[in-house]
Homo-oligomer: A and B are copies of this chain.
């Protein structure tokens, strides 16, 4: 019998990875300054093109300096967005991973609590606004 809840695909092992996958695995570890390849990327690696597309996008948006881009947001803000989205969607893997990333960036438990408090608040107001069928305010122009 299989054990339950194993990943859909056999995760690609770092040792077994070759070619494009190996290069991307190395880039992930270097860019993120970690010494292992997270399970997420090991799963995507079963589909090397998809691994490349998602990594390229994530690198560009979350590690802009490594991708040769400028960002208007700092690293903590970027990971904060990631955590807020993941908590909203209830994605356990993602919450776990972005919480770890924020801690690594020096974010303490109190700040994590504040991020989640704000994410929680707006999940509430979103349901209220949709539930009350509230029309957008007519706002004065900003520019």
Contact = CB atoms under 8 A, between A and B. Distances in A.
Contacts of A135: 4-7, 39, 93
Main secondary structure of the interface of A (DSSP, over half): helix
A19 interface: no
B43 A137 contact: no
- Count class of interface residues, chain A: 35 or more
Interface in A64-112: 69, 71-73, 76-78, 80-100, 103-104, 108-112
- Please give the count of copies of this chain that the complex contains: 6
Contacts of A125: 40, 54, 58, 94, 120
Contacts of A99: 8, 133
A31 interface: no
